Amino acid sequence: MSGADQGRVVEFAIGGMTCAACSTRLEKVLNRQAGMQANVNLAAERARVRLSGGADEAAVIAAVAKAGFKAEVVDKQTREREKAAKAKAYRSEIKRFWIAVLLTLPLVGQMFFMFGEHGHHNELPRWLQLLLATPVQFWIGWRFYDGAWKALRGGGANMDVLVALGTSMAWGFSTVVTLFELPQHVYFEGGAAVITLVLLGKLLEARAKARTSEAIESLVRLQPKTARVERDGQWVEMSVDGLMPGDIFLVRPGESVPVDGEVVDGESSVNEAMLTGESMPIGKRAGDQVFAATANGQGSLRCKATGVGEHTLLAGIIRLVGEAQGSKAPVQRLADRISGIFVPTVCLIALATFVGWWAYSGEFAEALVNAVAVLVIACPCALGLATPTAIMVGTGQGARAGILVKNAEALERAEKITVLALDKTGTLTCGRPQVTDSEARGLPKAEALRLAAALEHHSEHPLARAIVAANGEGEIAAVSGFRAMAGMGVEGEVDGRRLRLGSPEWLGLQDDAVVRQWQQAGKTVIGLQEGATTLAVFAIADALRPTSRAAVARLRERGIHVVMLTGDNALTAAAIASEAGIEEFRAGILPGDKAQAVAELKAGGALVGMVGDGINDAPALAAADVSFAIGAGSDAAIEAADLTLIRSDLLGVSDAIALSGATLGKIRQNLFFAFIYNVLGIPLAALGWLNPVVAGAAMAMSSVSVVSNSLLLKRWRPRA
C-alpha cells in the first residue's frame, strides 16, 4: 500500500481536556468521522490523526470544537505558544486558588469551634456563609461548569460533571436551608473546600505534567538559533532556518554545531553526549560527520551542511520522542474502556446512595451528603494519567541515554523478549574489516603493505579498504597494467614488479600452514605474490566490538536466548560466536533470508527481538516482534526499527530492555493505585464513612500521586 493510500499523519494540540473521560470521548468522536483515525493523549494534550480521503485539518478542528475542545495544528511555533499560554494560565489559576483559599478558610475554620455542647453558637451566620461560598462555587468553580456543559453537549461526561454536580447539590441544599431558615445543617464549607482542593490538585498535576515533557524541551533548547555561514568569501551570521544543504558553515571552539554536516577541514573533538549518552568527546577531521546541537571542543571546524531543518538527526530524535510520548501502550486499553463508562456508572451509584440512605435513615441531608461524597471521591483522572505519564518520562529518559523509542507498544513488548537475533556485521562487530595479522616473506612488512596498498588503492571493496587503511598515510605507488580477476583478486605492475594480490586458492596457498591457522580462526586471508614467490600474507577480520561480549552476557543474565545471524561461512561465524559468548548461530544467510530466519524463531512461540543496522536488515527488523537499529546516523536507521540506539554499542539493547521493564513497572504501579483508590473510595463514600471534604482532598491527591510516581522514572540510568 502506498503512503498516499495510507494517508498522512497530522499532530494537533488539544485544549480543554480535564480527565481520561475527555480524551476517551474525543478519540471516539474523531474516529467516527470519515477519513480520520485518531489517537488522543491526555498527558501530552495532543491528538495524532491519520487523514485520508477528503478529510483535512479544518475538518479535524471543527470536529474537536463540536466535541467541546480546542485544536491547533502543531508546527514549529506551537510549542513556544503553548508554553507561554500555559504559563499565563497557570499564573491566573494560582491567583484564583489563593482567592478561593481566603474565602474558604473561614468556612472550614468554623468547624474547629463547633465541637462541644454549645458548638452551634460558634457557627458563622448563614448569610455570611452563603456570601463566602457563592463566589467559590460559581466564579472560582466556573471551569467545572464550563467543562461539564461541553462534555454533556458532546454526548459524554467527565470529571467536571462529577465535581459540578456534587458541589452544586451541597450549595443548593444549603442555600434553600438558609433562605427559608429551615432547622437543618448547611454544607457550604463542603462544596467550597472540595472546589478549592480540586483546584489545588489540578495545579499540582499541571506542574508535575510539565516536568514529564522536560526531555523534549531540553532537546529543543539544544540547537543553536544562528550559524556562521560562508557567503562570497565572507562569514555571515544568519538564522539556522535559512541554511540549505551544501552551505559551508564554521563552528568555532566552544560553539554548538548548528546543523548536520561533513567536516571539510579543521580538527577538533566534539561532545556528542546529547545524542549518544557517551560523555567522551569524539575526534573529528575532514570527512567525518557532525550533528546538530553537539558541542565543539577546542578546534575550529569548517563544515558542509548535509541535513538541515527537519532533516537533522536532532529533529528526527525530537519527532520520534514526540511520537512515542503520544502513542498508547496496549496496557492503556483497559483504562480507556473503564474511563468511557466510569462517570455514568458513578452517577448511578451516587443516585442509589442518595435513595438508599434516605429510605434507610429518613434524613434527606444525610442522604445528600453521602451522595455528594460519592460524586466527589470518584475521579477518572488517575486512570487516564497512569500510562501516558510513565511513557512520557520513560521515553524522555531513553532519549537522554541515546535510546529512541518509536512507539509505546514497542516499549511495552521489549521487556518480554525471550529470543534475540543479532546481525553480525556492524552489530556484534565494528563493521569495518581490519588487517589483524600479517607475515612478510623476504621483504620488510611495511614494504609488503605499501605494494599491496598500491594494488588496492582504487578499489571500493571492504577488504581493499582494510589493506589501504593498514598502510596508513604512506605514499601510494603508481600501478600499470592493472587487471581485476572477479572473485579471485587483482594484478598489476608496481615499481617494475609484476604482482598478484588475492585469495589463497588463486595463489595456490590453500595448504600453507599460516593461512590455514588464520582461516580456522575465522579470518579472511589474502596473499601477495611476485611470480611464484610469496611476498606476504595478510589476515583480515571484522573485529568484535569491545563491549559485545559483555552485552551478550547481560542479555543471557536476563534469560534471553541470543542467536547470531550472518552471511559468513560457518567457520568464521563459529569463531565470532565463540568470541562473543553466543551458543547458537546461523551462517550463510543472505540479507533477504534473515526475515525467514526470524519467522522460524517466532514459530516456536517465542517473542523475538532483532538487532541490525536498520537499513539492509529492514526485512528482518520488520518481521521481528521488537526491532532495534544499532548505531544510528541517518533518517533511514531511525525509521527502520521500533527502538533506535544512537550509540554503536550492543549494551544499549540491554539498557533498552531494562528501560522497558522500569517503565512497565511504573505503569503497573500507577494502574494499581488508580484502581484501588476507586475500588476502596467509592464504597466508603457510599457507606457514609467519608466526608465530602475528605473525599475532595483524596480525589485531588490521587492524580498527583500517579504523576509523581511516574516522575520517579527520572532516577533510571543506563547500567554502567
Question: Of these residues, 336, 423, 568, 655, which one is catalytic?
Answer: 423
Distance CA 619, CA 595 (A): 5
423 counts as catalytic:
yes
Q: Are 79 and 218 within 8 A, CB to CB?
A: no
- 552 forms bridges with which residues in the sheet? none
Distance CA 523, CA 439 (A): 14
Q: Which residues contact 405 (CB under 8 A, 6 or more apart)?
A: 320, 321, 324, 394, 395, 398, 411, 642, 643, 656
Distance CA 470, CA 186 (A): 91
Catalogue the E-assigned strands of 186-265: 226-231, 234-239, 248-251, 260-265
The end-to-end CA distance of the chain, in Å, is 44
Residue 633: name the closest of 621, 617, 645 by CA.
645
Q: What is the DSSP string of 278-303?
A: --S-EEE-TT-EE-TTPEE-SS-EEE
- Going by their DSSP bridges, the two strands 248-251 and 226-231 should be labelled as antiparallel
Instruction: Tell me how far CA of residue 109 lies from CA of 112, 113, 114, 121, 663, in angstroms.
Output: 6, 7, 9, 14, 43
Give ∠ CA 74-77-82 in degrees, rounded to 5. 75
Distance CA 149, CA 160 (A): 9
Instruction: Tell me how far CA of residue 443 lies from CA of 78, 439, 440, 446, 454, in angstroms.
Output: 69, 10, 6, 9, 16
Q: What is the DSSP string of 630-673?
A: ES--SHHHHHHSSEEESSS-THHHHHHHHHHHHHHHHHHHHHHH
The catalytic site residues sit at: 423
